Amino acid sequence: MKCVRIKSQVEENLSTITFNTTFTISPHRPNSTTSGVSVTFVIMLSLDAPLPESKGLHLGLNIYTSLDGDPSNHLVTIELDTMKESFDPDDNHIGLNVNSVISNVTANLTTFDIEITPVNVTNYTLWIDYDEASHVIRVHMSKPTVPVLSQPLDLSEFVLQHSYFGFIASIRTTYELNHVLAWNLTVEKLPDDSDNDGAPAWKLGVF
């Protein structure tokens, strides 16, 4: 996990970062078993220990069932979902979740000839780009010409000034191995509070 300052502190000139992240993952179901639940890229409030109920369909997220969807969760995720729950469209999709384990929007990856957890080990590279100017988040997977998911999103409405970027996963009675082989995160560096006229810079992290 990486803690990132997402919002400026100057209320009269409030700004939120633009960011892009690229990572290579290798989701795999060993011995041709049934897939587990998912692996999820998260922007989250804290690194508190997981709740007992965070397993399975809760994606490893620290969300009490009674607070699912509550704005106090301050959570935005991109999930790669490999198990169909009652609220899921299928068992091979990518989803954008805001403060909830239920996706705001999903995209079926079968349409793009992508199976998240094939029997044979396969590496996938994902690009997630958030543009603060247009308030749009886009996700490419193995860099097709068009994004597999594109959705309006004003990040400033949902996250706090400092949030953690990273990955989580969960299992139920079945499991899968989710290897993050490489991760690159590039975020806009907001001007210092005392430098309202300063142009934002960029900082790069490789993990």
For residues 60 and 63, give the distance between their C-alpha atoms in angstroms, rounded to a whole number.
9
The per-residue pLDDT for 108 is 93
Q: Which of 93-102, 137-146, 179-188 has the lowest mean pLDDT?
A: 137-146
Residue 188 pairs with which residues in a beta bridge? 202
What is the distance between the alpha carbons of residues 136 and 129, in angstroms, rounded to a whole number? 8
Cα–Cα distance, 186 to 164 (Å, whole number)? 14
Whether the pLDDT of residue 204 is over 90: the answer is no
What is the chain's mean pLDDT, rounded? Answer: 78
Q: With 90 as the cut, is the pLDDT of residue 62 above it?
A: no
- In terms of pLDDT, which residue wins out, 143 or 195? 143
Which residue, among 155, 144, 145, has the nearest Cα to 99 in the 3D structure?
155
Q: Lowest mean pLDDT: which of 41-50, 69-78, 142-151?
A: 41-50
Q: What pLDDT was estimated at residue 52?
A: 46
pLDDT at 10 over 60: no
Q: How far is CA 107 from CA 30, 93, 112, 121, 196, in A?
A: 25, 5, 10, 22, 39
Domains in the chain: boundaries: 2-206
Q: How far apart are CA 5 and CA 164, in angstroms?
A: 9
pTM for the full predicted model: 0.81
- Give me 203's structure tokens: 């900082």
Q: Which fold has domain 2-206?
A: Jelly Rolls (2.60.120)
Minimal CA–CA distance to 25: which of 186, 148, 170, 142?
142
